[in-house]
Amino acid sequence: MLVKNFEKIAIVRTDSIGDVMLTLPMAGIIKKKWSCDITFIGKAYTAPVVACCEHVDRFQDWDSVKETAFKNQVDWLRAMKLDAIIFAFPDKQVMKAAAAAKVKIRVATGKRFHSLLYANKKTWFSRKKSHLHEAQLNVKLLSVLGVFQIPSLEELPAMQGFTQIAELPVKFAKLEGKKRIILHPKSQGSAVEWGSRNFSNLIESLDREDVELVITGTQKEFELVRDDLPFNQANVKNLMGQMSLQELIAFVNSADGLVAASTGPLHIAAALGIRAVGLYTPQEPMHPGRWAPLGTNSIALVADHHPQPGEYLNISVKSVLQELNLGRS
């Protein structure tokens, strides 16, 4: 067992928003155990997510040096004066630079060839074959630093520290007397989707004066669904491609519920404590056992089978309506 009083630790997660969200509990555990300075190394577009975490002291943008000379990457890491760096995502480029920068402790799973080359503290487990949740697997990396207890799914939400939320711009203010429900129909290919027809039926089922339905996503995703969803329904607002990520987080924080597949917005909603209804396939490793939203007010609805190509999750609109718990229908 490694016993050490760390002063500076970095967490590396250079992938998507949902993955970053499920890495934040690790930061909470590190902060509690060592009260140390925590740097989060990630992609630029995830910086607003990390900024909401009270456990992280700073964000470092890997994109700012990714395309530069290797020596510059090494100098960039060396300047952080880290005691340890933990690869929640085993980014080969960052690992190679960290080794060259002589970061004293470099933690990664030992299943990849570049981990064998560049990590000097390895954990030997397979994410693909594990039945643990992604957030629990991230914590499992800390075993080589002396943290052996894996939190339960019930304990993990309190460790996220997702509390530093920006103020909601006035232009997105919630309408008085209305429940705000966010529908996030697309996933940028990161998850199995429910399909526009199901979302359209859900929208029509919520044609109520006391409900404000807001559809979110990117402008590119809007082009994919513009002809398939009833954007002209009186209580529907289209905000696809109209918010920054920081604004989206604040907007989600103002909502009463959100419906989405296993995407970043779903995990953000769960961390913020709003009613987060996730839509999942039962197929491993995409099932909720691995990727369920972490939150005391979240729920994962699971299709009874994995859809064939061209099909969507066969979760009923009725079940989604029931889980939104909006009272009268």
Tell me the pLDDT tens digit for each residue of 180-202: 999 999 999 889 999 999 999 99
Q: With respect to residue 79, please indicate whether it lies within any of the assigned structural domains.
A: yes
pLDDT of residue 192: 97
174 shares a domain with 139: no
pLDDT of residue 329: 45
Number of domains in the chain: 2
Q: With respect to residue 3, please indicate whether it lies within any of the assigned structural domains.
A: no
174 shares a domain with 151: no
Q: With respect to residue 273, please indicate whether it lies within any of the assigned structural domains.
A: yes
Whether the bond into 151 is cis, omega within 30 of 0: no
Which of 159, 190, 213 is a domain's end point?
159
pLDDT of residue 131: 87
CA dihedral (191, 299, 294, 54) in degrees, to 10, reads: 110
pLDDT of residue 279: 98
206 shares a domain with 99: no
Which of 102, 133, 159 is a domain's end point?
159
Q: With respect to residue 164, please indicate whether it lies within any of the assigned structural domains.
A: no
pLDDT of residue 1: 44
151 shares a domain with 40: yes
135 shares a domain with 192: no
Q: What is the CATH number of the domain that holds 292?
A: 3.40.50.2000
Whether 75 and 46 have beta carbons less than 8 Å apart is answered as: no
Which of 139, 159, 179 is a domain's end point?
159
User: Which of 297, 268, 291 is closest to 279 using CA atoms?
Assistant: 291
30 shares a domain with 52: yes
Q: With respect to residue 165, please indicate whether it lies within any of the assigned structural domains.
A: no
Q: With respect to residue 329, please indicate whether it lies within any of the assigned structural domains.
A: no
Q: With respect to residue 1, please indicate whether it lies within any of the assigned structural domains.
A: no
175 shares a domain with 31: no
176 shares a domain with 135: no
Q: With respect to residue 289, please indicate whether it lies within any of the assigned structural domains.
A: yes
Whether 234 and 204 have beta carbons less than 8 Å apart is answered as: no
Q: Which residues of the chain have pLDDT under 70?
A: 1-3, 327-329
Q: Which two tokens stand for residue 79?
A: 């300047």
Q: Which two tokens stand for residue 61?
A: 């943008």
Q: How far apart are CA 126 and CA 329, in angstroms?
A: 45
pTM of the full structure: 0.95
266 is in which domain, residue-wise? 170-324
Q: How many residues does the chain have?
A: 329
pLDDT of residue 238: 98
